[in-house]
Amino acid sequence: MADYKDIIASCKDQKGGIIEAFHALQQEFNYIPREALTEAARVFGISEAQAYGVATFYSYLSVEKRGKYIIRMCESAPCHVAGADELLKAIEKELSIKVGETTSDGKFTLELTECVGQCQATPVITINSEPLFNVTAEVLPQVLSAYK
């Protein structure tokens, strides 16, 4: 696992460097650790409050510790028509968590997201940003077993 200081330093001279750093941190840790926010503020010459503001502005980024696998349920109208509500209930039941929570083993975090642009194959979930199409409550156990 990379060190957060090295990740931030590697983005210091890039245009939009703090955002690039936050994306790289998210890629490495699945969230932006508090100490990394502090370091980014120092490196980019802004206040911690400003760094926190950047990190929390984008819904893709998180400053809260999350699971190894981030499941995002699309909450757009086409997915709802195709059974997203039923699928969301099935995910919550299968993992014993609600939206915004992480499983006790730290493996899965469940979040909602806006349209992921795959409306031809609804309902859609993403796991660590990889879209999975036509997911139903019936196939959910097999889908999740690949990550358990």
pLDDT (0 to 100) of residue 1:
67
Residue 126 corresponds to which amino acid?
A: T
Contact status, residue 36 vs residue 42, Cβ threshold 8 Å? no
Q: Is this model's pTM higher than 0.75 or not? A: yes
* pLDDT tens, per residue, the chain with 148 residues: 679 999 999 999 998 899 999 999 999 999 999 999 999 999 999 999 999 999 999 878 999 999 999 999 998 999 889 999 999 999 999 999 999 999 999 999 999 998 888 889 999 999 998 999 999 999 999 999 999 8
Reading the block at residue 17, the tokens are 């460097």
Portions of the chain given CATH number 3.40.30.10: 69-145
Query: Residue 110, exposed/middle/buried by CB under 10 A (0-12, 13-18, 19+)?
Result: buried
d(CA 90, CA 78): 18
Residues 83, 16: Cα–Cα separation, whole Å:
39
DSSP 14: S
Distance CA 72, CA 130 (A): 10
Class of the CATH domain delimited by 69-145: alpha beta
Task: Please tell me the predicted confidence (pLDDT) of residue 44.
Answer: 97
